[in-house]
Structure 1
Amino acid sequence: MMAAATSANDSLWQQMRDEAQRAIAADPVFGKSLADAVLVHDDFAAVLADLIGRRLGGSAAERARFTTFALDAFRDSPDMIETAGRDLQAIAIHDPAIAELLPPLLHFKGYVALQAWRVSNWLWHRGHVDAALLFQNESSNLLQVSIHPAAGIGSSVYLDHATGIVIGANVIIGDGTTILQNVSIGRNSELPARSPRIGRGVYIGAGATVLGDISIGDFAKVGAGTVVTSDVPAGCTAVGNPARLTNCPEPVPAA
């Protein structure tokens, strides 16, 4: 399994380098920025750490600090780079406007915000709470994406447009989920306070709110502007405020 992951990462890295070389050949002036972002680095981990540092760090010292944290995380947990590659490929799969890897890697703030969260999560679980919260704070301030370090997020996740996304502590999000802009996922005001659990392949539309001790089943959809405070079975679509269920694979029993 590790050998297969390494091979996939090597292939992805080579694809990025090939795209950067083509960009330079097509436009030597603009292509120089791609060379600086990709070709000067030895591997995908170094590119990603530098990208996080540049997007979160205002000064040279801050950039270096965020880059170092990210590199430490990636070197300690190589599976994070495998996951980052899956996240990047998910964008190319789900976004028909994307034909290559470099545009979402270098220009999609949702992608870098998600990878910055993965570093913050690594820090959180190693007891570096202040550093983890610093990542969250700067991502919120600069990228408008606030994901608590104690959340849990799978792979192949796509934060589309990625403005105004808030994901609270202990929220669980499964593989292959797509989340659009202005989405809030977190606890409600009831006690004991518990967070939503979101399954695999879920789609959450713009402006949706998902709150409380609830489950969103695999491959369910939450429509734009929907407010969800109760379970959504697998494969169903939730729409409206309050949410109502439609398009379920099987009839949903009356409440």
Structure 2
Amino acid sequence: MLKRIKQDIKVVFDRDPAAKSVIEVLLCYPGLHAIWLYRISNYLFKRGWVLVPRMICYFNRLLTGVDVHPGATIGDGLFIDHATGVVIGETCIIGNNVTLYQGVTLGGTGKEKGKRHPTIGNNVVVASGAKVLGSFMVGDNSKIGAGSVVLREVPPNSTVVGIPGRIVWHEGKKINRPDIDGIDLEHDDLPDPVAEMLHCMQRNMKRLEARIEQLEKELKQHDPEGV
């Protein structure tokens, strides 16, 4: 247990430059408190308890702002930054070294039974306000852009942005940050599909304007008097 607590504290220092001391992390990081409370509730939930784990879950939400169901499966190295508004559903599976920012929802899409929440691979970063809804896989080393709504499977090494979420980057650059165990936290460095579409429209308009000018010149050459 002590080894795992030390690892949790190390994760905070690795991924949050604002962390200054161990005491500060222990006392002032709700994301860390949320993970510890989840582990207690998950331990009891796996042994057949229902009410007490759900009460711990409710207390966890009041204390930290994180609503994580005790039935969720969470790997090592999870970091929840700022914590507020994070929701993790009952059948959600989270791999190792995952980073969640504030306002993230890992939820379902209806009242179906069984596996209804997403599976998040290793080294995944889900940026602020993103919603991943449904029973599908988000592949290893992927990034979900801020405010995105992801409704279908994401292959490994991909970047997803938009509503609904679209894959805009896949195997396009090497994800390798040795200073933080290979996890790329640059979730602000994402392509903008709307801006790319506007640039494309602008280029087409310029081509059309150039073509119109060319046709007008040809028309004047064939009919200089404009008859």
Q: 1:116 aligns with which of 30, 33, 37?
A: 37
SS at match of 1:247: strand
Instruction: Give the distance between the partners of 1:81 and 1:201, measured in 2 at CA.
Output: 23
Please report how far the alpha carbon of residue 124 of structure 1 lies from its aligned counterpart in structure 2 after TM superposition: 0.4
Question: Residue 234 of structure 1 corresponds to which residue in structure 2?
Answer: 156
CA deviations on 1:157-213 (whole Å, 9 max, x unpaired) are: 100000001101010001100000011111111645621000011000010000111
Please report how far the alpha carbon of residue 99 of structure 1 lies from its aligned counterpart in structure 2 after TM superposition: 4.0
Question: Residue 145 of structure 2 corresponds to which residue in structure 1?
Answer: 223
Question: Residue 130 of structure 2 corresponds to which residue in structure 1?
Answer: 208
Root mean square deviation of aligned Cα: 1.7
* 1:150 aligns to 2:66 (yes or no): no
Please report how far the alpha carbon of residue 97 of structure 1 lies from its aligned counterpart in structure 2 after TM superposition: 2.0
SS at match of 2:170: coil
CA deviations on 1:202-243 (whole Å, 9 max, x unpaired) are: 000010000111100111000100000101111101101001
Question: Residue 109 of structure 2 corresponds to which residue in structure 1?
Answer: 188
Q: How does 1:55-74 map to 2 (within 5 A)?
A: none
Q: Which residue type is aligned with residue 228 of structure 1? A: V
SS at match of 2:59: helix
Please give the TM-score of this superposition, normalised by the length of structure 2: 0.72
Structure with larger Rg: 2
Q: How does 1:77-156 map to 2 (within 5 A)?
A: 80-156=1-77
Please give the TM-score of this superposition, normalised by the length of structure 1: 0.64
Please report how far the alpha carbon of residue 247 of structure 1 lies from its aligned counterpart in structure 2 after TM superposition: 2.0
* Structure with higher helix content: 1
Q: Which residue type is aligned with residue 128 of structure 1? A: W
Instruction: Give the distance between the partners of 1:121 and 1:191, measured in 2 at CA.
Output: 22
CA contact (8 A) 1:88 1:156 kept: no
Instruction: Give the distance between the partners of 1:228 and 1:190, measured in 2 at CA.
Output: 18
Question: Residue 39 of structure 1 corresponds to which residue in structure 2?
Answer: none
Question: Residue 119 of structure 2 corresponds to which residue in structure 1?
Answer: 197
Q: Which runs of 5+ in 1 are unaligned?
A: 1-79, 251-255
Instruction: Give the distance between the partners of 2:144 and 2:15, measured in 1 at CA.
Output: 17
SS at match of 2:54: helix
Question: Residue 166 of structure 2 corresponds to which residue in structure 1?
Answer: 244
Please report how far the alpha carbon of residue 104 of structure 1 lies from its aligned counterpart in structure 2 after TM superposition: 1.4
Identical-residue share of aligned pairs (%): 37
Instruction: Give the distance between the partners of 2:5 and 2:107, measured in 1 at CA.
Output: 24
CA deviations on 1:121-170 (whole Å, 9 max, x unpaired) are: 00101122111011101111222111000000011110000000110101
Please report how far the alpha carbon of residue 106 of structure 1 lies from its aligned counterpart in structure 2 after TM superposition: 1.2
Please report how far the alpha carbon of residue 109 of structure 1 lies from its aligned counterpart in structure 2 after TM superposition: 0.7
